[in-house]
Structure 1
Amino acid sequence: IISWPQIKYDLTLAFTLRLLWGASNTALARWLPPAYEDGLSQPRGWDPSIRYNGVQLPLVREVTRKIIHVSNEAVTEDNLYSDIIMVWGQYIDHDIAFTPQSTSRITFLNGMECQMTCEKQNPCFPIKVRFLIPSREIPGSKNIKQQINGLTSFLDASTVYGSTHATENKLRNLTSKEGLLRVNVKYYDNHREYLPFTDRIPSPCAQDSNSSEGERIECFMAGDSRSSEVTSLAAMHTLWLREHNRLARALKNINGHWSAETVYQEARKIVGALHQIITLRDYIPKIIGPDAFNLYIGLYTGYDPTMNPTVSNIFSTAAFRFGHATIQPIVRRLNAQYLDDPELPNLYLHEVFFSPWRLIKEGGLDPLLRGLLAHSAKLQVQDQLLNEELTEKLFVLSNNGSLDLASLNLQRGRDHGLPGYNDWREFCGLPKLETHTDLNTIISNHNVTAKIMELYHNPSNIDVWLGGLVEDFLPGARTGPLFACIIGKQMKALRDGDR
């Protein structure tokens, strides 16, 4: 017999936990139990004496060098989709997932900086030639390490409005009677608005080497802290700032009696809905293909209160990172006739990392958006995965040197305790791959499978991000069956679990 107080307690706890589904600063969802070497927190590959199916896991930098890395010139262009498809994927990823790095950058044992040591001592997880600051963690049940999502999981335009009340209030123009968002007060783009600059001055963004010493262009401030990462992402954030303010002015014009708060909230509802429509109607079917869309997502039949919308660790750390293989090494800007402009030459990707000054001083949004719309995305080809702009010249504000995105992705998967490739295939109801011959059935480029087997020796050892990335595309898709399954399941949860 269960007492009424116990029932009330259980119901209250269940209701409280459900209210936290998808909330910011809660743990990423685990769809499979984590695979740590010590069962708690030690990443796969941490202890070189531990064997997987009789062999040591390969160093991630070796995987990058032998399988993933390709020159900037080796790019096959997508014959269907323009570069804007890549930008939308990155933008939407930043709406639903952000795993903060550990706040500690020194070893707990002897106080050495992670960048200055190759010792594997918490919290440092060195990549030979590079290093990784592990993700910020929280203890889960039985103290198993779990990682945090710093954002709301929902497709709710948190890229525009932020994921906390404090951020939202910084982004709003609270003196406006029209419910507007704050804009840049120093610069305009042909009378159109730019994002405001961050309050953190001086910000760490790059500066124009030709500008005078006193003239600084700071990082932009938006709903997501990564808005200045590359110029195309900053442009997308800027478009939605402008769209919110356009809608707010129009709504206030029609409904003069509305308060600024009502106008703001109604405009926000519309912007959020547009993010959902573009993603689920226009973007996701192109990525996973019509068959996987029907299988994993299907028609919308209304809110399902039993559906947990929390973003999963496997989605954010592996599957949705497929887009890194679709990034062009060159940034193109075009004139009003969609032709090359001698005053705005092509740039390599590393020249636009954290460089908002290029938007403000080099033509504004329009030339960049024309380039994204008029040029093809990079096709994700099995022997042309990540170009050297990403594997040799990646720049992030938290690091002094250049980084390798592919190695970071692989090491991040191990740091997060993601199970191996075959575990996830079985999770999705796909056949387990036992042999080299099995691998050849789902990867048509057999040179690639030979390189994978040379490093991993057994399909079960393959890091899930790499395995999902090299699978043959499904019909009408830009992913293989594993990533189509994971992305599909996640998108259904985000849609149906959104009250």
Structure 2
Amino acid sequence: MRFLVFSLAFCAIFTYCLANRPKHDVSEDNYLELVREIEDEIAKENELKHEAREKDNLEQAREENGQEKAIVGNYDEPPYTDKEISYLQLAREVSDQYMEEIRRENEESENVGARTASDSLRAFSHPSRRTQMLAEENERQDAELETLQMLASGENLRMRNLPDLTAKTVQDDPTCNTKLDCEGKNLNLVDGKEFRTITGTCNNKLNYTWGMAGAQHRRLLPNAYNDGKWKIRKLSVTSRPRKKVFLPSARKISNVVHKTTKPKPENEDSISLGLFYFMQFIDHDLAKTAEGHVRKKKICCKTPTKATKFCLPIVVEESDDQFDKDDCMESRRSFVVYRCNDNVRNQINEITSYLDASMVYGSSEEEEDTLRTKKAGLLKMSTEDFLPISERATSLPCNATDVSTCYEAGDTRANVHPGLLTYHTVFAREHNRIAKELRKVNSGWSDERLYQETRKIVGGEIQHIVYTHMLPVLIQDSVLDQHGVTKEYDYKDSVDASMTAAFSMVYRYHNLMPHKLNLGRLKGDGVETFEQFNQESVFQKPSFVTRDNYDGINEVTLGMIQSQCPYVNRFMNAAARDLLFLDKNGNSFDLVALNIMRGRDWGTPSYTAYRALCGLGIATTWNDLTNTTDQEDIDKMKEVYADVQDVDLWTGVMTEKKLAGSISGATQSCLLAMHFANIKHGDRFWYEGSFSEDQLEEIKKITLARVLCDTLEDITLMRENVFRTNSDWKRCSDIEGKIDFSKWQE
């Protein structure tokens, strides 16, 4: 970073000199001499200024850097000298030039066409505007701090209170010192009725940040950072100060524990791919953690020893079937802020943590406005009732040469897979269908009232489908009961529904990803698969939903409901484990390795720590795992981990035996159920407490099959239970669940 700032400082100083001073020859050798000359010239000018002006500058500087009190108010230290002030001014010149160069660099490097594997991963993790603004401030402060430190060392000055001048190099959470009164204008009030805010603020009136977009991850256990502050978890519990033992490489764990040499067979529980892609759709309603910013010109893999703070390259230590020794995956650390009142860094959830259909409507007013027509409560749609075409395709996970196939949705990841995009399209259509029905019974309602009432109904439908139909497949009934998921809704303002790092880590059912995308079509009284594509070839290809004269969305829907998920175990198909975001140069990512490194990046404690938290026993030996994990899977982990207490959380839960009647192991079920209970009982707008008795009765009729039938007009057959392949195909006219909207008439 220092060399980078040196280079940028050259540019900034040179620009400044051209405009205001005699020309200087700039080179790395005479850099410090040049800086001295310029700061002396600036200092001479400052001598002519009044002392009050100097104090005003300092007060302004403190305000810009988020400080509560100006340095000049500290009478324990003498006022800053002109030389020190000149350094501050020069540092700001450098940081301004630095930020301008970054903006130009980002604009010049944007493209939609043949992306690299790294470009695709960046687009998938594209940050929200809020996070971008925080990241830009971090970059500015980094540049300013580095320049000040360099100037101070060059003059051997101690630069009193340097941290106060430059703040921290990671941004404080802006909500820590912000108070919000959850009344009046801060609520979403329409015609005297209160609806959810789009950002999730003030859902909990006592703690307005709980569950909102931008809230920090909540931890169930203390962090496991190497230094307790931010350094990634990388040492084995067997490590000693004089003999360090490192955790095994993520790719090695992937090869030993999660590799399969042939496509996984279908599961034995008749679980359809309709469930898998719906689970991903729900995941994108609950969690999104952006990557930290690394400059476009900075290749983390090329300079791993001089990597910027957000670089996290995954280096391949041994050649295997896909990667050569020393190959490198361009991974990055998640964006962080400081926890309130200390210097420990923590990740944030960019979207609302509530199950509120944010993947349909967005998690900010800006996103919401982009999606709304502001007429009759409707959402924008494009040709043939597809999602609106995006005007920012370069920042979306959409690897297409034709930007007309990149769509705008409430979540930026909608374009990453045709199965996921199908659900996004279906529920946007469902919104407009309901808005039109409500207008028929309430012709006097305004656009805003129609929109908010419809958004509320769609959110209720999704909550009902998830808790009534989806969760019983994921989690054993007894575990749902044990943690209060099935308990009658009882809102508690003491329950925090904010995203937990543990939930975000274990709700990653990537072991269910198939090796093929199957397309289906109607045939007689059933459905047949008529075409298949390798899974790695369809990532970031949203055009699949409009193929065959816009019939693609029907083909994708029927294909995933007709097809079964792979067998539920620790193995992952090569499409995700070897070939994720495969580019034309043969570069790709390993999703297993990414999951493992993400856990270490977040300072996530080991699997055994969470196992103990869930009451499954303290594991200090490998034999202690036998009550949750088969011996064959234990033996595989023993091949790579030095100690049972080293096992990464994601690998640990993927190797567990699945509880009867579910697709999840004991620890995974526990962590999921704990959080789903919080989502329900910590949501002031939960559907079971937000509708009249008659309206709630209508909402509880809904099934995913009914939604698909109502929004895909060319599909006349549907499985009654979309999540099970042993469910019968029925004519849509016979699928129950139609809502009587007269219950909303006023």
| TM-score, scaled to structure 1 | 0.87
Q: Deviations over 1:225-273 (max 9, x none)?
A: 0000100000000000110000000110111111111111111110000
Q: Measure the CA separation in 1 of the matches of 2:466 and 2:214.
A: 24
Q: CA deviation at 1:415?
A: 0.2
Q: Measure the CA separation in 1 of the matches of 2:532 and 2:372.
A: 35
Residue 455 of structure 2: which of 265, 268, 273 is its match?
268
Q: CA deviation at 1:200?
A: 1.3
Provide the residue aligned with 2:332 in structure 1: 133
Instruction: Report the AA paired with residue 386 of structure 2.
Output: Y
Provide the residue aligned with 1:220 in structure 2: 407
Residue 410 of structure 1: which of 572, 596, 606 is its match?
596
Q: Are 1:94 and 2:284 matched, yes or no?
A: yes
Instruction: Report the AA paired with residue 206 of structure 1.
Output: N
Q: Measure the CA separation in 1 of the matches of 2:235 and 2:404.
A: 42
Q: CA deviation at 1:203?
A: 6.3
Q: Measure the CA separation in 2 of the matches of 1:341 and 1:82.
A: 14
SS in 2 for 1:333: strand
Please, which moves more after superposition, 352-361 or 270-279?
352-361
> Residues 10 and 199 (structure 1 numbering): CA distance in 2 closer, same or farther, change over 3 Å?
closer
SS in 1 for 2:264: coil
Q: Does structure 2 conserve the Cα–Cα contact (< 8 Å) formed by 1:84 and 1:372?
A: yes
Q: CA deviation at 1:458?
A: 1.6
Q: Does structure 2 conserve the Cα–Cα contact (< 8 Å) formed by 1:105 and 1:114?
A: no
Q: Does structure 2 conserve the Cα–Cα contact (< 8 Å) formed by 1:76 and 1:381?
A: no
Q: Measure the CA separation in 2 of the matches of 1:119 and 1:54.
A: 18
Q: Does structure 2 conserve the Cα–Cα contact (< 8 Å) formed by 1:328 and 1:378?
A: yes
Q: Measure the CA separation in 2 of the matches of 1:147 and 1:229.
A: 23
> Residues 312 and 381 (structure 1 numbering): CA distance in 2 closer, same or farther, change over 3 Å?
same
Quick one: higher RCO (CA 8 Å, sep 6+), 1 or 2? Answer: 1
Instruction: Report the AA paired with residue 134 of structure 1.
Output: R
Q: Does structure 2 conserve the Cα–Cα contact (< 8 Å) formed by 1:78 and 1:376?
A: no
Q: Does structure 1 conserve the Cα–Cα contact (< 8 Å) formed by 2:371 and 2:410?
A: yes
Q: CA deviation at 1:51?
A: 5.3
Q: Are 1:197 and 2:378 matched, yes or no?
A: no
Task: Say which one has the larger Rg.
Answer: 2
Please identify runs of 4+ aligned residues in structure 1 that moved more than 6 A: 9-17, 46-49
Q: Does structure 2 conserve the Cα–Cα contact (< 8 Å) formed by 1:203 and 1:218?
A: no
Q: CA deviation at 1:488?
A: 0.4
Q: Deviations over 1:363-397 (max 9, x none)?
A: 32111111111111122224xx2110001111189
Q: Deviations over 1:93-148 (max 9, x none)?
A: 10010001102247xxxx84214333263221221132321101001142111001
SS in 1 for 2:229: coil
Q: Measure the CA separation in 2 of the matches of 1:333 and 1:367.
A: 5
SS in 1 for 2:337: strand
> Residues 451 and 257 (structure 1 numbering): CA distance in 2 closer, same or farther, change over 3 Å?
same
> What is the aligned-residue identity percentage?
29
Q: CA deviation at 1:275?
A: 1.0
Provide the residue aligned with 2:355 in structure 1: 155
Provide the residue aligned with 1:118 in structure 2: 304
Please, which moves more after superposition, 361-370 or 145-154?
361-370
Residue 515 of structure 2: which of 314, 329, 345 is its match?
329
Q: Are 1:206 and 2:206 matched, yes or no?
A: no
Q: Measure the CA separation in 1 of the matches of 2:269 and 2:351.
A: 34
Q: Are 1:441 and 2:627 matched, yes or no?
A: yes
SS in 1 for 2:404: coil
Q: Does structure 2 conserve the Cα–Cα contact (< 8 Å) formed by 1:83 and 1:377?
A: yes
SS in 2 for 1:336: strand
Q: CA deviation at 1:158?
A: 0.2
Provide the residue aligned with 1:33 in structure 2: 222
Q: Deviations over 1:209-228 (max 9, x none)?
A: xxxxxx54332110000000
* Structure 2: gaps spanning 5 or more residues: 1-177, 183-201, 316-327, 685-746
Please, which moves more after superposition, 53-62 or 129-138?
53-62
| TM-score, scaled to structure 2 | 0.59
Q: Measure the CA separation in 1 of the matches of 2:582 and 2:312.
A: 18
Q: Measure the CA separation in 1 of the matches of 2:404 and 2:427.
A: 21
Q: Measure the CA separation in 1 of the matches of 2:457 and 2:529.
A: 36
Between Structure 1 and Structure 2, the one with more helix by share is 2
Provide the residue aligned with 2:491 in structure 1: 303
Provide the residue aligned with 1:473 in structure 2: 658
Q: CA deviation at 1:16?
A: 7.2
Q: Are 1:492 and 2:697 matched, yes or no?
A: no
Instruction: Report the AA paired with residue 283 of structure 2.
Output: D
Provide the residue aligned with 1:369 in structure 2: 557
Instruction: Report the AA paired with residue 127 of structure 1.
Output: I
SS in 2 for 1:346: strand
SS in 2 for 1:146: strand
Q: Measure the CA separation in 2 of the matches of 1:488 and 1:412.
A: 22
Q: CA deviation at 1:49?
A: 11
Q: Does structure 1 conserve the Cα–Cα contact (< 8 Å) formed by 2:329 and 2:588?
A: no
> Residues 79 and 198 (structure 1 numbering): CA distance in 2 closer, same or farther, change over 3 Å?
same
Q: Does structure 2 conserve the Cα–Cα contact (< 8 Å) formed by 1:217 and 1:356?
A: no
Q: Measure the CA separation in 2 of the matches of 1:433 and 1:463.
A: 14
Q: Deviations over 1:437-481 (max 9, x none)?
A: 22233222x332112012113211100111111111112111111
Residue 179 of structure 1: which of 360, 377, 401 is its match?
377
SS in 1 for 2:476: helix
SS in 2 for 1:378: coil
Q: Does structure 2 conserve the Cα–Cα contact (< 8 Å) formed by 1:300 and 1:496?
A: no
Provide the residue aligned with 2:546 in structure 1: 360
Q: Deviations over 1:273-322 (max 9, x none)?
A: 01111111111121111010100123123211111110101111x1111x
Q: Measure the CA separation in 2 of the matches of 1:265 and 1:453.
A: 54
Instruction: Report the AA paired with residue 196 of structure 1.
Output: P
Q: Measure the CA separation in 2 of the matches of 1:479 and 1:418.
A: 20
Q: Does structure 2 conserve the Cα–Cα contact (< 8 Å) formed by 1:203 and 1:219?
A: no
SS in 2 for 1:350: helix
Instruction: Report the AA paired with residue 391 of structure 2.
Output: D
Instruction: Report the AA paired with residue 75 of structure 1.
Output: P
Provide the residue aligned with 2:343 in structure 1: 143
Provide the residue aligned with 1:18 in structure 2: 207
> Residues 266 and 123 (structure 1 numbering): CA distance in 2 closer, same or farther, change over 3 Å?
same
SS in 2 for 1:473: coil
SS in 2 for 1:425: helix
Provide the residue aligned with 1:6 in structure 2: none
Q: Measure the CA separation in 1 of the matches of 2:285 and 2:231.
A: 29
Q: CA RMSD in A?
A: 2.7
Provide the residue aligned with 2:9 in structure 1: none
Instruction: Report the AA paired with residue 239 of structure 1.
Output: V
Instruction: Report the AA paired with residue 389 of structure 2.
Output: F
Q: Does structure 1 conserve the Cα–Cα contact (< 8 Å) formed by 2:238 and 2:642?
A: no
Q: Does structure 2 conserve the Cα–Cα contact (< 8 Å) formed by 1:330 and 1:347?
A: yes
Q: Measure the CA separation in 2 of the matches of 1:388 and 1:10.
A: 49
Q: Measure the CA separation in 1 of the matches of 2:238 and 2:582.
A: 33
> Residues 50 and 112 (structure 1 numbering): CA distance in 2 closer, same or farther, change over 3 Å?
farther
Q: Measure the CA separation in 2 of the matches of 1:46 and 1:485.
A: 27
> Residues 260 and 11 (structure 1 numbering): CA distance in 2 closer, same or farther, change over 3 Å?
closer
Please, which moves more after superposition, 461-470 or 423-432?
423-432
Give the number of equivalent residue pairs. Answer: 465
SS in 2 for 1:132: coil
Q: Measure the CA separation in 1 of the matches of 2:294 and 2:237.
A: 24
* Structure 1: gaps spanning 5 or more residues: 1-8, 209-214
Q: Does structure 1 conserve the Cα–Cα contact (< 8 Å) formed by 2:389 and 2:405?
A: yes
Provide the residue aligned with 1:4 in structure 2: none
Q: Does structure 1 conserve the Cα–Cα contact (< 8 Å) formed by 2:527 and 2:558?
A: no
Q: Does structure 1 conserve the Cα–Cα contact (< 8 Å) formed by 2:292 and 2:332?
A: yes
Residue 234 of structure 2: which of 21, 38, 45 is its match?
45
